[in-house]
């Protein structure tokens, strides 16, 4: 699909993206916009090299693509120097290789914070109250009358939610769980404390002014402390070498027997085989996952477990957010090509 065929700068989007704002932005700035409408969900490096062709100024790509030296050198050879992921996470991008090839890299932070946190909250509730299991039960025609013992789950109020990675999304999720369900919080973050701490102080004052019982907040210095103390653990770190398999067999063993593990960050942060074993051995333990180690696949056994809730990487999938991500990605590319002062460079 081509927009503004006579535009001087050739910008490619490897996928159709929601909304038309991003297209207008590029077209108004004089770009020829080419959108790949190939049916295949995941494009290979060779597919994308073919798209880039001989002349390409900038590309908007997706988290399913492998943006390493191969693609960045092709982009450089085609005269391009701007790439934006339509995602906040950019573990699929080798920024060093991009820099070596003179290509600037952008991502799309901010617009997905609340949407992603809301999905993490939805997963938490689904797991705590066994919503998916109960839905299957109902649809299978198994409901033959109310029982005092039917689908007993966990009450969140007064329990402790553990946050690993208290950046934008982790902090928004923590705020939702505190304001919505009066959960206590324990959190671990290597880098940032300020976001949550500011909220903690303000919310503490608010509760005090309302004469309400306080919630407790605790920043701890190890991942292990979070795992031992929390009833719900939600993962929000970036994926890099230090967080790969952060949750492994030994760490799962530290968690409470009836705890809930939520992951709406990146699959490889959890050793999924170890998680499947843990769920099999501990039927009271639950996991709610938006992301998987080897997407689009799930490790064997996971899909059969009643104590797991699984959804296909949809945490940022609200209309407003996805249109916002597409617009930011276009702004990133345009910012670099035209020297505009908008540039989300992955440092957010
Ligand atoms: C991201 O942005 O990193 C998500 O995984 C997709 O929205």
pTM: predicted TM-score of the whole model, two decimal places: 0.94
**pLDDT per residue over 63-98, tens digit each?**
999 999 999 999 999 999 999 999 999 999 999 999
Of 236, 278, 313, 322, which residue is the catalytic one?
313
Pocket test of ligand 1: the residue of 62, 64, 87 to mutate, having most ligand atoms within 8 Å of its CB, is: 87
Is 3 catalytic? The answer is: no
ipTM: 0.97
Name the residue with the closest Cα to ligand 1, atom 3: 89
Say how many Å lie between the CA of residue 5 and the centre of ligand 1.
30
User: In the chain, which segments carry CATH 3.40.50.720?
Assistant: 2-111+318-338, 113-310
Lowest mean pLDDT among 47-61, 64-78, 189-203, 262-276: 189-203
Say how many Å lie between the CA of residue 88 and the centre of ligand 1.
5
Instruction: State how far the Cα of 271 lies from the Cα of 196, in Å rounded to an integer.
Output: 27
**pLDDT per residue over 19-28, tens digit each?**
999 999 999 9
Cis omega (within 30 of 0) for bond into 266: no
Looking at the domain covering 2-111+318-338, what would its CATH class be?
alpha beta
Question: CB neighbours (10 Å) of residue 257?
Answer: 8
Per-residue pLDDT for 124 more than 50? yes
216 compared with 108, residue with greater pLDDT: 108
Of 266, 278, 322, 344, which residue is the catalytic one?
266
Atom of ligand 1 nearest to the CA of 116: 7
What mean pLDDT do residues 104-108 have?
93
Which pLDDT band, with edges at 50, 70 and 90, does 342 fall under?
low
Atom of ligand 1 nearest to the CA of 266: 5
Is 295 catalytic? The answer is: yes
CATH superfamily, domain 113-310, is NAD(P)-binding Rossmann-like Domain (3.40.50.720)
The answer to whether residues 245 and 263 touch, using CB atoms and an 8 Å cutoff, is no
110 compared with 34, residue with greater pLDDT: 34
**pLDDT per residue over 321-337, tens digit each?**
999 999 999 999 999 88
Say how many Å lie between the CA of residue 8 and the centre of ligand 1.
31
Pocket test of ligand 1: the residue of 60, 62, 63 to mutate, having most ligand atoms within 8 Å of its CB, is: 63
Name the residue with the closest Cα to ligand 1, atom 7: 316
**Per-residue confidence (pLDDT) for residue 133, from 0 to 100:** 97
Atom of ligand 1 nearest to the CA of 85: 2
Say how many Å lie between the CA of residue 89 and the centre of ligand 1.
6
**Per-residue confidence (pLDDT) for residue 348, from 0 to 100:** 38
Structure-token match 């402390």, residue found: 225
**pLDDT per residue over 238-256, tens digit each?**
999 999 999 999 999 999 9
Q: Which residues does a 6 A CB cutoff place in the pocket of ligand 1? A: 63, 87-89, 112, 316
Per-residue pLDDT for 341 more than 80? no
Name the residue with the closest Cα to ligand 1, atom 1: 87
Say how many Å lie between the CA of residue 85 and the centre of ligand 1.
9
**Per-residue confidence (pLDDT) for residue 209, from 0 to 100:** 86
Is 266 catalytic? The answer is: yes
Q: What is the 3-state secondary structure (H, E, C) of the chain?
A: CEECCCCCEEEEECCCCCCCHHHHHHHHCCEEEEECCCCCCCCCHHHHHHHHCCCCCEEEECCCCCECHHHHHHHHHCCCCEEEECCCCCCCECHHHHHHCCCEEECCCCCCHHHHHHHHHHHHHHHHCCHHHHHHHHHCCCCCCCCCCCCCCCCCCCCEEEEECCCHHHHHHHHHHHHHHCCEEEEECCCCCHHHHHHHHHHHHHHHHCCCCCCCEEECCCHHHHHHHCCEEEECCCCCCCCCCCECHHHHHHCCCCCEEEECCCHHHECHHHHHHHHHHCCCCEEEECCCCECCECCCCHHHCCCEEECCCCCCCCHHHHHHHHHHHHHHHHHHHHCCCCCCCCCC
**Per-residue confidence (pLDDT) for residue 189, from 0 to 100:** 85
Name the residue with the closest Cα to ligand 1, atom 2: 87
What mean pLDDT do residues 205-214 have?
81
Of 179, 224, 295, 323, which residue is the catalytic one?
295
Instruction: State how far the Cα of 31 lies from the Cα of 106, in Å rounded to an integer.
Output: 18
Q: Which phi-psi region, left, alpha or beta, contains residue 193 (left: φ > 0; alpha: ψ -120 to 50)?
A: alpha
Which pLDDT band, with edges at 50, 70 and 90, does 49 fall under?
very high
Of the chain, the percentage scoring pLDDT greater than 90 comes to 85
Pocket test of ligand 1: the residue of 62, 88, 169 to mutate, having most ligand atoms within 8 Å of its CB, is: 88
């Amino acid at each position: 699909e081509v927009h503004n065929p006579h535009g001087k700068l050739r910008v490619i989007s490897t996928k159709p993206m929601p909304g038309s704002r991003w297209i207008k932005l590029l077209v108004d700035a004089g770009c020829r916009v080419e959108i790949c409408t190939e049916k295949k969900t995941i494009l290979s490096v060779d597919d994308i090299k073919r798209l880039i062709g001989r002349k390409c100024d900038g590309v908007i790509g997706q988290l399913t693509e492998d943006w390493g030296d191969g693609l960045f050198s092709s982009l450089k050879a085609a005269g391009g120097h701007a790439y934006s992921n339509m995602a906040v996470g950019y573990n699929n991008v080798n920024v060093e290789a991009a820099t070596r090839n003179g290509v600037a890299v952008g991502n799309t932070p901010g617009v997905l914070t609340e949407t992603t946190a809301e999905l993490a909250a939805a997963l938490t509730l689904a797991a705590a109250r066994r919503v998916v299991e109960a839905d299957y039960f109902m649809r299978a025609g198994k409901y033959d009358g109310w029982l005092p013992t039917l689908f007993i789950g966990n009450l969140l109020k007064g329990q402790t939610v553990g946050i690993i990675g208290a950046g934008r999304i982790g902090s928004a999720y923590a705020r939702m769980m505190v304001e919505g369900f009066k959960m206590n919080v324990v959190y671990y973050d290597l880098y940032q404390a300020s976001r949550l701490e500011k909220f903690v102080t303000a919310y503490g004052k608010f509760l005090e002014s309302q004469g309400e019982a306080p919630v407790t907040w605790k920043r701890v210095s190890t991942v292990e402390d979070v795992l031992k103390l929390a009833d719900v653990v939600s993962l929000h770190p970036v994926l890099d070498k230090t967080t790969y398999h952060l949750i492994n067999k030994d760490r799962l063993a530290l968690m409470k027997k009836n705890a809930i593990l939520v992951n709406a960050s990146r699959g490889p942060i959890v050793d999924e085989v170890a998680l499947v074993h843990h769920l099999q051995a501990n039927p009271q333990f639950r996991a709610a996952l938006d992301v998987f180690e080897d997407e689009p696949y799930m490790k064997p056994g996971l899909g059969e477990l009643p104590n797991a809730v699984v959804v296909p990487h949809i945490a940022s999938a609200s209309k407003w957010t996805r249109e916002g991500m597409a617009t930011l990605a276009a702004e990133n590319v345009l910012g670099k090509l035209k020297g505009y002062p908008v540039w989300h460079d992955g440092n957010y």
